[in-house]
Amino acid sequence: MKTTENKKHIVVIGGGFAGLNFVKRLFRSRHFNITVVDKNNYNYFTPLLYQVATSFLEPSSISYPFRKLFRKEHIVFRMAELLEVDTAAHKLRLSDGGELVYDILVFAAGSKTNFFGNDAIRRHSFSLKGIDDAIYMRNELLKTLEKASLEEDPEERKKLLTVVIAGGGPTGVEVAGMLAESKAFLGNDYPSLKRAMGNIHVIDGSPYLLAPMSDKTHAAAYKALKKLGVQVKLNTQVKDFKNDQVLLSDGSVIEAKTLIWAAGVTANTFRGIDPASIGRGNRMITDSINKVQGYADIYAIGDISIQFTDKLYPNGHPQLAQPAIQQGKTLAKNLVRMEEGKAPVPFKYFDRGDMAIIGRQFAVADLFKHKVHLGGLLGLLSWLFIHVLSLVNYNNKIKTLYNWAVAYATKDQALRMIFRPGNRETVS
C-alpha cells in the first residue's frame, strides 16, 4: 500500500499519546492514507498503569482496541513491531514478516525503562511501561502476599512485605501512596498479616520528591507520604539489587523481596536511522516542525523526539503526556498545511501543569506553568477530572469512574485476583 487516489501514505509507528492524537486529527483525511503500526492491538492510558498494578483498576478500564477506534475512520491498523527502516527505499521491515512502503514516516514509539546498564536490576525488579508490566506486577505482588500469609519466620515475613521504590517522580510517588494505603486493609483478606511488619521505601537521587514541580508540591508530597507511613530517602540512589537486598549509594542496605524501578526512561530505537540523528536519551533530534534531522520525510513526536527550537525548553521538552499530545496534533495540522501549499507552524509547547495523586484522598497539582498550586480536595478533584477527561473513549471513562466510586465508597477494591496465562490446560 503506497498511494490510493493519489493520496500520500503515512505510516505511524506507535499508537500512544502522540501517535493517537496525530491520527485522530487525520480521520477520513482527503490528503493521506494512514497505517498505524503498534506491537499491541490496543491503546492504553499510561498515567493510570500503576492503578492496574496495585489492583485498583482493571486493565480494560484504561485500554481500548485500535481496530474499534479506527473502524469507521479509514485508518489501517497493523499489529507488529518495526524491525528496520530502509530510508533509501522508503520501506519498513516488520516483525510479522511483512513490509510497508511509506511516503511519510512518523515515529511515535515512545520510551522504555532505563536501567542504566544494571542487568541485575533489569532482571529482578518490576518496571511499569505497559499493561503487560502492570498485570505481571499485580500478580507478583499478590503472590508475595500469599507467601507472606503462610510465612512463620517474622524476619522473612517482614522481607516479603517490604517494598522499595526507586524513583520519586509521579509513578514512584503514586505507587507508594497506593501500596501504603492498601496496607491498612490487608488484614481483611489476610488475617495473619494484621500485625505483620513491613515498610514501603521511596528512594530518589534528587533533593525533592516530584522534582520538576513546585516547592509547595515537594513539601506536600513528602508530608503526605510520611503521613501514610512511607519511608522517604532523598539524595540517594539504588545501586544494586541482589540476594533480597537493595543496596543504596550511601552504603546502607534494605532487606526486601520487591524492588519497583521508576527511576527513568530512554527512547526506543530502530535499525536504519542514522546515529547522527539520535540525541540525548536516544531521542531523535527534530526541527521546529518535528522533522527528524537528516531526513526530508521522517518525523518524530512525543517521548522519542527531542526538539531544541522551543525557546522556553532549550534542552528539549519533558517526556510527559501533554507534550506528546500537543506535538501529535500540531504535526497533523502541519502536514495538511504543507499538502495545501501553506507554511507549517513551529511547535510551541503550552504547559498546562503537572499533577500527582498520593493515596485515595490527596493529590497535588501545579497548573499553568506552576503559577497555580492545588492540594487536598481541590487537587484531588482536578486530578480526577483531568484523568477521566483524558481517557480515550466513554467506555473507559464510565468503567474507571465506576471502579473509583466503588473503591472510595467501600474503602476497598475487589480486583485482587491472580490471573496466570501460564496455567492454561495443555493437550497431551
The 3-class SS string of the chain reads CCCCCCCEEEEEECCCHHHHHHHHCCCCCCCEEEEEEECCCEEECHHHHHHHHCCCCCHHHCEEEHHHHCCCCCEEEEECCEEEEECCCCEEEECCCCEEECCEEEECCCEEECCCCCHHHHHHCECCCCHHHHHHHHHHHHHHHHHHHHCCCHHHHHHHHCEEEECCCHHHHHHHHHHHHHHCCHHHHCHHHCCCCCCEEEECCCCCCCCCCCHHHHHHHHHHHHHCCCEEECCCCEEEEECCEEEECCCCEEECCEEEECCCEEECCCECCCHHHECHHHCEEECCCCEECCCCCEEECHHHEEECCCCCCCCCCCCCHHHHHHHHHHHHHHHHHHHCCCCCCCCCCCCCEEEEEECCCEEEEEECCCCEEECHHHHHHHHHHHHHHHCCCHHHHHHHHHHHHHHHHHCCCCCCCCCCHHHCCCCC
140-173 per-position pLDDT tens digit: 999 999 999 999 999 999 999 999 999 999 999 9
Contact 286, 292 (CB under 8 A): yes
In this prediction, residues 180-207 reach a mean pLDDT of: 88
Please name the fold of domain 8-39+80-113+265-339: FAD/NAD(P)-binding domain (3.50.50)
CA angle 192, 57, 202 (to 5 degrees): 65
Q: Provide the pLDDT for residue 416.
A: 76
Please identify which residue in the block is written with the cell numbers 501512596. Answer: 177
Whole-number percent of the chain with pLDDT over 90: 69
Show the cell assigned to 51.
492503578
pLDDT higher than threshold 50 for residue 2: no
Top CATH class of 119-263+353-410 equals: alpha beta
pLDDT for residue 385 is more than 60: yes
pLDDT digits (tens, 9 = 90+) for 220-258: 999 999 999 999 999 999 999 999 999 999 999 999 999
State mean pLDDT over 328-344. 97
Q: Longest Cα pair distance anywhere in the chain, in angstroms?
A: 74
> Residues of the chain with pLDDT > 70: what percent?
94
Residue reference for cell 507508594? 176
pLDDT at 301 exceeding the cut of 90: yes
Per-residue pLDDT reduced to its tens digit, 248-297: 999 999 999 999 999 999 999 999 999 999 999 999 999 999 999 999 99
Q: What pLDDT sits at residue 424?
A: 59
Q: What is the average pLDDT value for the chain, to the nearest integer?
A: 90
Across residues 81-101, what is the average pLDDT? Answer: 97
CB atoms inside a 10 Å sphere around CB 155: 10
Torsion of CA 296, 297, 298, 302, to 10 degrees: 100
User: Would you say 14 and 109 are in contact if contact means Cβ atoms under 8 Å apart?
Assistant: yes
**pLDDT confidence band for 428 (50 / 70 / 90):** very low
- Per-residue model confidence as pLDDT tens digits over 387-415: 777 777 777 888 887 777 776 766 666 66
Residue 175 and residue 262 in contact, taking contact as beta carbons nearer than 8 Å = yes
pLDDT at 1 over 50: no
The reply to whether 8-39+80-113+265-339 and 119-263+353-410 are identical in fold is: yes
How do the domains of the chain map onto residue ranges? 8-39+80-113+265-339, 119-263+353-410
pLDDT computed for residue 370 by the predictor = 64
**Reported confidence tier of residue 420, pLDDT bands at 50, 70, 90:** confident
Q: How confident is the model at residue 15 (pLDDT cuts 50, 70, 90)?
A: very high
